[in-house]
Chains A and B, each alone.
Chain A
Amino acid sequence: MPGASALRQRPDAVLTPRDATAALKAAIGTGVRAQDPSASTAATPVLAIEHVSLAFGGVTALADINLDVWPGEIHAVIGPNGAGKSSLLNVVTGLYQPDRGRVRHGGRPFAHVPTARLARLGVARTFQNLSLFKGLTVLDNIVMGLSAEVRSSFLGQIFGVPAAAREERRHRAAAGEIVEFLHLTEVADRTAGGLPYGIQKRVELGRALVAKPKLLLLDEPMAGMTLTEKRELTGFIRTARDTYGTSIVLIEHDIGVVMGLSDRVAVLDYGRKIADGTPDEVQADQAVIDAYLGVAHDVDVGGGI
């Protein structure tokens, strides 16, 4: 059974770039916002999804979903195509307003999450279909990740008043350190749109990471990547979590990556959450095997709609 063997093969071979941790630690030292992981008390989840339901016409996309993401946790959300993963992410980012239930970001409840305020709430994301600023350089893309923290007025920027210039230097330095951490130094001044897919994905991760978010939403970060690129990116994600204490919600189809990287795995099927636990628990869960893992054949080829 191809699915089962894919499951058992734990990706122990995942590489953590050796120098990445050191580079990232350096990044924190001069970081834009001093982030103390212990400051966020473990008592409040970074993200709490409470009784969220959503239907499109008569079709149920999400049915009474509950999900907590704790500080420093990598929480994967998996499920067959059409299970509601993307709908859930769209509710969390405010693209959809749920019919019932609410979403708490850092304890603050929202019936409809204000998309425009997400960055200021400490939430960053990457997109399933790359969403880079293609005409900007790699470094400028990552600098834009700090947009929510710009304090200087546009007149101040035009006339180059000292405070604006200082802020700009600080942001450039923070972006430069992320560039180093993600091994993007050689392409830092290249236009992002012209780079290979795998590198663009990494730039997008950098743009999300530079603001040192409390919560990072990764929407199929490994899609379309080669095995080497996947290993590399897995290492970067884990290191980012270890160093910043960033909580990560990971939507991903590659079961090997998910089981190796996640602390907890939630499984969706037809809009319902059928399991939520450690990778080992979830892999042993009969409902999950029936609904998803047993038909792992569909996982990567995208069988059901």
Chain B
Amino acid sequence: MFDYQFFLEVLIGGLLSGIMYSLVALGFVLIYKTSGVLNFAQGSMLLFAALTFVSLVERGVPFWGAFAATLGVMVLLGVAVERTILRPLVNQPPITLFMATLGLSYVIEGVAQLLWGTQVHGLDLGIEDSPFEVYGVLISQFDLFAAAVAGSLVAAFSLFFRYTRIGLAFRAVADDQYAALAVGLRLPRVWAIVWTAAGVVALVAGLLWGARLGVQFSLSLVVLKALPVLVLGGFDSIAGAIVGGLLIGAIEKLSEVYIGPYFGGGIEGWAAYVVALGFLLIRPAGLFGQKLVERA
């Protein structure tokens, strides 16, 4: 007999962890949408934010003080990246920019190491990770909290993109950079704001992931988890990042529980990539991504 309650528990656990993936993917989407750059440094930014925050807290800075200070650092980082990397490399082919962000990721990690050392830090956000029961289904309190935070962040960004003038400008830049320039949009300013936003996303994601896994250098590898999410959802769609994250989370957990035993377990780590690979063959633009139509 199929155990629906257990199935539901696995599914909900998967969806909640999936939102954490969405959060990482969101950072990618923001930058890719507006500048066409796949920012490989998103993971290092996430690590850097978490490490800065936790180191400040360990030095006795109160929670919100540390949060504000880290936020400030991420804003500075965003502006600095625009000045030193994006502006000189404007109009370069995407692969050049991608390589630049790859280099950037190592620079950020190196600086983080130099500043804060290499040991593993525990991060306690003050949320208990004890499961509670809803209609017999066990749900992790921490997962629910993380999902709520991620959900509100995504909602805030959606509202921002829809209802503010600068949000409109972001969408315009994403649609056509040259026309955006022609109507007098200040592209450098737009990019600086986008990288700052991606820094804020990295901070929030870094805190949630750091609390889950401990703040350590392998934290930057969560970017690799975001890649299948982006393949599924499309690299340029915020909605895609959310749905893709949820799907990947659910697929991971469900496949581990129901298909895993046939392979001797441990498929959670790579099931998502198999799905992403299959998806690339069927629908390369992702669920919500824009199809690229090149006109001669």
Contacts and interface: CB of A to CB of B under 8 A. Distances in A.
Interface of A: 93, 115-116, 118-120, 124-125, 127, 129, 131-136, 140, 143-150, 152, 154, 157-158, 164, 168, 171, 207, 211
Contact of B168 (A120, A140, A211): A140
B132 interface: no
A132 B187 contact: no
Contacts of B95: none
Interface string B153-165: 0000000100011
Contact of B165 (A93, A133, A157, A211): A157
A152 B165 contact: yes
Contact of B295 (A125, A129, A149): A129
Contact residues of B: prevailing secondary structure: helix
A168 B165 contact: yes
A131 B172 contact: no
A136 B171 contact: yes
Given A154-B164, A154-B193, A157-B164, A125 B182 contact: yes
A133 B176 contact: yes
A116 B183 contact: no
Interface residues of B, number: 23
A134 B175 contact: yes
Most chain A beta-carbon contacts within 10 A, residue among B174, B176, B180, B183: B183
Contacts of B171: 133, 135-136
Interface in B159-211: 160, 164-166, 168-169, 171-172, 174-176, 178-187, 193
A131 B171 CA distance: 14
Given A135-B171, A144-B169, A147-B169, A119 B184 contact: yes
Contacts of A143: 168
A82 to B, nearest CB: 18
A140 B181 CA distance: 16
Contact of B172 (A124, A144, A168): A144
B217 to A, nearest CB: 34
Most chain A beta-carbon contacts within 10 A, residue among B166, B168, B176, B179: B179
A211 B182 CA distance: 12
Given A133-B171, A136-B171, A158-B160, A147 B185 contact: yes
10 contacts: A118-B182, A125-B182, A131-B179, A132-B179, A135-B171, A140-B168, A144-B183, A148-B185, A157-B166, A211-B183
Given A118-B184, A131-B182, A133-B179, 13 more contacts: A115-B181, A127-B179, A131-B178, A131-B179, A132-B179, A133-B172, A136-B172, A140-B168, A144-B169, A144-B185, A145-B183, A147-B172, A158-B166
Contacts of A115: 181-182
A135 B174 CA distance: 9
Contacts of B178: 127, 131
B248 to A, nearest CB: 25
Contacts of A145: 183
Nearest to A143: B168
